[in-house]
Amino acid sequence: MYALPVEQTRWHVPSGSTTAFSWDYDDGRDRLLSLYEKGKQRQWDAAVRIDWSREIDPDNPLQLPDESVAIYGSRTWDRLGERDRATVRHHAASWQFSQFLHGEQGALICASKIVPATSRPTPATCTTSCSWPIPSTRTCRRCSTTSSPTAAGT
């Protein structure tokens, strides 16, 4: 399916920080799935927003008018039969989705560069029940505890 084996298609984006993509979601999977579901609910959930019972025309699944095809109205388009026009529509839609996904991939890379540059360490919190932020002096300003701080939320 690919012109080159996937392992030969790596590319690097040099910058002042390291970008690492990991597709191993075993650690923290429940939190990741929860975050994913919240994101879908607040943005766009295909399981809810799409009527999956509708019939789809395989020759024009997006139901776009022929005028949206770049070669529509040309002599080439006029010579095509319906089967070939369906093939052109299919390839045009595939190209359009491919361009969109490449843009999303670029956005993912940009986000992966921005987040480490702008992230701040999680503030330490008091180990007592007050859980107040502890400054670098390691003394809780709220209850004056001098015990070792822990990361927030742990």
Q: What is the pLDDT of residues 54-100, one digit of tens each?
A: 888 888 888 889 999 999 999 999 999 999 999 999 998 888 888 88
Q: Which two tokens stand for residue 112?
A: 């992966």
CA 15 to each of CA 20, 22, 33, 110: distance values in angstroms, whole numbers, following the listed order: 12, 19, 30, 11
Find the angle CA(93)-CA(95)-CA(98) to the nearest 5 degrees.
Answer: 110
Neighbours of 140 (CB within 10 A): 22
Higher-confidence position of 71 and 124: 71
Q: Are 133 and 123 in contact (CB under 8 A)?
A: yes
In whole numbers, what is the pLDDT of the chain averaged over residues? 75
For residue 153, name the pLDDT band (cuts at 50, 70, 90): very low
Q: Please name the residue ranges forming H helices in the chain.
A: 29-42, 46-49, 75-79, 82-118
CA 3 to each of CA 28, 113, 122: distance values in angstroms, whole numbers, following the listed order: 35, 29, 44
**Model-level pTM?**
0.47
